[in-house]
Chains A and B, each alone.
Chain A
């Protein structure tokens, strides 16, 4: 069990700043996701925590102790790789046994003659029993004698998980472990990993570019972009109270609607695409915070461009007069709009997010005014 503290960790490769001084406190037993687009530095941060990469500056603390000079072997962490990184020439059982063999047997016991030493034999028996327990826990016992090449993607993922679990590490590091699975398997594996976390109670640090994975499994999400953490919060908070426009745009599917608006001093907002002298802001609202209305009744209006019918939801794309595409979620059991209809869009003002020119959230209550 261990909390992980990251203190202004920076990483540069030549001129490129991959991490620009990241601070993050991960509580013991927490499931935290590092989420962001590719190249945001999330995998580098994970590899620095693991010790596979050395930070340019800053510190990593495990359980309050600085581990910056420690090799991965001594940090008591386990990692699940995107490629699973199973040893292709070893069977499933042998793969899972590697972390125990490397830590418990000495060089002689590991060698060819090691099987003859009584001490080596005893330890190997213990290890086999532990491998068996982990295999049973993940229901992969029947695969034990197979080589990785003979396994499906989902099975390989479980074996990689088993290899990480067998040693009972103080924290698990996961680098996009589900990205090589098909969509259906991914949903199932999401549930399994979350259940595993509840059962083990260990710290999980989970790197993903998939906001849905981060939303569904995490206690907290750290949204990273351009080598910085933009926001660390619970999934609900990240979704409902994004502190940065880029966070709002990254989290949520379909994407949040962002429109240019002019804000007057009393908090009144008017959508505009024209350059005016007044205070220009980004006004954003999620598809479910808007509904279609009569053309004249709403602050925003346009023509229906396309309708995405997902069965449970209807996502209506409206092209506004200003040339923005706005997505509105509709109930499919209600009145079905048609492509080409002229409609108004009513936005729930309590669920309106306003961001300044610096992308940061502007707090306060806002009123929508006027229309086009």
Chain B
């Protein structure tokens, strides 16, 4: 099909605003990051010179970077399954219940909408070693209190629990939308077909029909968990002794505390590649599903 010149012009005019915005806010910053990653630029410098792959070579030898990458993956490995499972279970419970549905939905969604930085301060109070409610409860129940955020062995997992608390409501809403798209008739049919219990019905209908939603939730959860920053910044600043150093925090520290912009850009590239990789996985799985359906 060929377009007339005026149609061409109209088309270009229509995509112009979106293109300009994308160029300005997406493509330009991304490409400047790519350029910076191959320079020795430091924040505030008047000049810069290209250093090739030196920044990446330095990363490979930098224990902080590896610690940061490992911590991010551990955090993700706890938060993703945790927030998905909790999201699914609460969605199923709310869906099965008859009363107070909108109350529970709102209550569980609240942490998603609240400012995480403000919530982090609340968590800091709750986790305070001497007068926090968590330790008070532990003591009352006869357990030993912990210095939750200052103990290198558990600080990352404490942040992960906060991460789950913060994000499962989002997953719950997505799962609830998925559940509401499953026809009720199917459950009646399963009842007539003799499914012995709710678990059998879940396996026969709910789980397979939620599969597309589950893939979507998994991918968004992974990406969101890679982006953990607020709680780290507010509660631990990557400590103690880099036990909670995560990728975004390392980027922030390198770029804005040590002013090593080139170095920070190199980590950013690694981070972007991780996110793009996960998105590609989703794309591939969607394509596969589309072909088989």
Contact = CB atoms under 8 A, between A and B. Distances in A.
Contact of A99 (B193, B196, B208, B209): B193
Contacts of A78: 192
Interface residues of B, number: 19
Contacts of B205: 87
Interface residues of A, number: 28
Given A87-B205, A88-B209, A149-B293, A81 B188 contact: yes
Contacts of A147: 293
Contacts of B192: 50, 52, 72-73, 77-79, 99
Contacts of B211: 89
Nearest to B199: A107
A331 B81 CA distance: 75
Contacts of A149: 293
B70 to A, nearest CB: 32
Q: Which of B185, B192, B293 has the most CB of A within 10 A?
A: B192
B232 to A, nearest CB: 39
Contacts of B204: 87, 98, 102
Contact of A52 (B191, B194, B200, B293): B191
A52 B185 CA distance: 11
Interface string A189-207: 0000000000000000000
Contacts of A88: 209
Contacts of A98: 190, 193, 204
Nearest to B201: A102
Contact of B188 (A73, A85, A99, A103): A85
User: Which of A78, A82, A149 has the most chain B CB within a 10 Å cutoff?
Assistant: A78
B186 A87 contact: yes
A85 B185 CA distance: 6
Contact of B196 (A85, A87, A89, A102): A102
Contacts of B191: 51-52, 71-73
B195 interface: yes
Given A99-B194, A102-B194, A110 B200 contact: yes
Contact of A81 (B185, B200, B208): B185
A51 B293 CA distance: 33
Interface in A190-247: none
A83 interface: yes
B189 interface: yes
Contacts, number: 61
Nearest to A50: B192
B183 interface: yes
Contacts of B183: 83, 85
A89 B194 contact: no
Contact of B185 (A72, A83, A163): A83
A173 to B, nearest CB: 8
Interface string B156-191: 000000000000000000000000000101101111
Contacts of B185: 81-83, 85
Given A79-B189, A81-B188, A73 B293 contact: no
B209 A103 contact: no
Of listed B194, B200, B205, B208, residue having the most chain A CB within 10 A: B194
Contact of B194 (A47, A83, A103, A107): A103
Contacts of B208: 89
B213 to A, nearest CB: 13
A77 B190 CA distance: 13
Interface string A68-105: 00011100011101110111110000000011001100
A102 B186 contact: no
Contact of B209 (A73, A79, A89, A102): A89
Q: Pick the 9 closest A-B CB pairs, nearest first.
A: A85-B189, A85-B185, A102-B194, A99-B193, A73-B194, A89-B208, A103-B194, A79-B192, A72-B191
19 contacts: A52-B192, A73-B194, A77-B192, A78-B192, A79-B189, A79-B192, A83-B183, A85-B185, A86-B189, A87-B204, A89-B208, A99-B193, A102-B193, A102-B194, A102-B200, A107-B200, A147-B293, A163-B193, A167-B194
Given A47-B188, A77-B192, 17 more contacts: A52-B191, A71-B191, A72-B192, A73-B191, A73-B195, A81-B185, A83-B183, A85-B183, A87-B205, A89-B211, A98-B190, A98-B193, A98-B204, A99-B192, A102-B196, A107-B200, A149-B293
